[in-house]
Amino acid sequence: MKILAIETSCDETALALLSLDKETQSFKVLDHIVYSQIEEHSQYGGVVPALASRLHNKKLPGMLQEFIHQNGRNIDAIAVTVGPGLEPSLFVGVNMASLLAEVLGVPLIPVNHMHGHMFSGLLNEALEGSIPLSYPFIAYTISGGHTELVLVKAYNEYEIVGITQDDAAGEAFDKVAKMLNLGYPGGPKISKLAQSGDADAIAFPRPMMSSGNGNMSFSGLKTAVLYYIRDNPPQNDTDIANICASFEQAVIDVLIAKLNWAVNEYNVNQVVIGGGVTANTKLRQAFEHYAQQNGIELLVPNKILSTDNAIMIGVVACLDIIHTIDNRPNKVNGNLVV
C-alpha cells in the first residue's frame, strides 16, 4: 500500500510517499520533497508563526498538485502531523490532508511530530526500513523546540523520563548564534565555526549534569555565554570559534551524561536519537563513541531526516498500520497530541 505524508508543523512544507508491505513489515520511501522557509524567516532572526502559516498556504496546494501528478493518485492512506508545533502551521496541513482524504476516499492517519523524530532512525541510507526494534528502548529527541528522553516500553506506550526545564538544546544554539551575530538558523553556523575552535578554551557550566535524574537545563548555559561575551568581547575569528566550540562541548557533555543516566536507570541497550540538533557532526560522533564504549545499539537517522520532514511522518503511519491493521477512522482527532 502507498501512504502520502504531509508535514507543516513549523517552517518546512514537506511531502513524502512511502510504500508499505504489511506482510514483511517493511517500508521504503518512493519520493519526498521539502520546501524550507529559512530564507524568509532569517531576516527576523527566527520563525514568525503568522508568516510560516501564510507560506504553507501559498506553497502546499501547488506542491501537492505537482507531487500527485508525478506519483499518481494511487494512494491508500494519508498521514499528517497534528502536533506538537505552531498551531497556525499545523492547521494548514491538517485541513489540506482532511480535504484530500475525503476526495480520495482514504483513511487519514494523525501523527505526533515527536514520534516522527523518535522513529526516523529506522530508515537506512537507501531510505528503506522495517521494525527491528526491541522494547524497551530510549528515544532521545533533540531539536529546536524539544529536548526529551523517552522510555519506549512498547509501541505507543511512552514515558518521558527526562526533559529540558527551560530552553531546548536547539533553541540555545540559535540564541547563542544570535549573540554572536551569526544569523539564523544558528546551530549549523556554530557547528561549522566550532570545528576550528578549542572546546577547552572556556569553562562554561554544565547545568544539571549531575542532578541524578534525566532533566536538563540550557538557559543557564546560554546566560553564561551572554555574560562571557559581554565581559570578553571577541576580537577575531579565533575568539568566536573558541566560544562556539566551548559552548557546543558543554551542550554535548550534558546530553551524553543524561543519556548515560537513562541507560543505566532503565537498563536498556538500544537508543534511538532524532531531531534537528542530531545533524550536528560532533554530537553524532559523541553518541556513536558512547554507544561503542557501552555496548549500546544506536539508531541514528540519515542527516536529511534529522530536520523536519514528511518521511518520518510516513514512517510512523506505517508503524501505526502494522500495529492496528487499518483500524483508523477517516478523520483527525481534534485534540493535538503534545
Residue 142, domain CATH: 3.30.420.40
Residue 169: how many CB atoms within 10 A of its CB?
26
163 and 312 assigned to the same domain? no
- Quick check: is 330 in a domain? no
- Quick check: is 331 in a domain? no
- In the chain, % of residues over pLDDT 90: 77
115 and 202 assigned to the same domain? no
Residue with cell 531576516: 43
Q: Which residues contact 334 (CB under 8 A, 6 or more apart)?
A: none
- Quick check: is 313 in a domain? yes
260 and 146 assigned to the same domain? yes
- Quick check: is 67 in a domain? yes
For residues 13-38, b (16+ Cβ closer than 10 Å) or e, as one string?
A: bbbbbbbbeeeebebbbeebbbbebe
Whether residue 107 is preceded by a cis peptide bond, meaning omega within 30 degrees of 0, is: no
Q: Nearest to residue 186, comparing CAs of 97, 248, 267?
A: 248
60 and 121 assigned to the same domain? yes
235 and 319 assigned to the same domain? no
257 and 315 assigned to the same domain? no
- Quick check: is 279 in a domain? yes
- Quick check: is 29 in a domain? yes
Q: Predicted confidence band at 323 (pLDDT cuts at 50, 70, 90)?
A: confident
Q: Is it the case that residue 50 has pLDDT exceeding 60? A: yes
pLDDT tens for residues 147-174? 999 999 988 899 999 999 999 999 999 9
Q: Which residue type is seen at 73?
A: R
Q: Write out the E strands in 104-198.
A: 108-112, 128-130, 137-142, 147-154, 157-163
Q: Predicted confidence band at 326 (pLDDT cuts at 50, 70, 90)?
A: very low
- Quick check: is 336 in a domain? no
145 and 254 assigned to the same domain? yes
pLDDT tens for residues 56-94? 999 999 999 999 999 998 999 999 999 999 999 999 999
Average pLDDT over residues 40-46: 85
Pairing of strands 147-154, 137-142: antiparallel
197 and 316 assigned to the same domain? no
Give the whole-angstrom CA distance, residue 220 versus residue 176. 12
Give the whole-angstrom CA distance, residue 272 versus residue 262. 12
Backbone angles phi, psi at 311, to 5 degrees: -60, -45
CA atoms within 13 A on the CB side of 335: 2
Residue 26: the pLDDT is 92
Q: Is it the case that residue 297 has pLDDT exceeding 80? A: yes
Question: What's the total number of domains in the chain?
Answer: 2
98 and 208 assigned to the same domain? no
Residue 126: the pLDDT is 83
285 and 317 assigned to the same domain? no
- Quick check: is 334 in a domain? no
Domain residue limits at 206: 137-301
Sort 50 into a burial class: Cβ within 10 Å, 0-12 / 13-18 / 19+. Answer: exposed
265 and 145 assigned to the same domain? yes
Average pLDDT over residues 281-307: 93
Residue 337: the pLDDT is 33
231 and 291 assigned to the same domain? yes
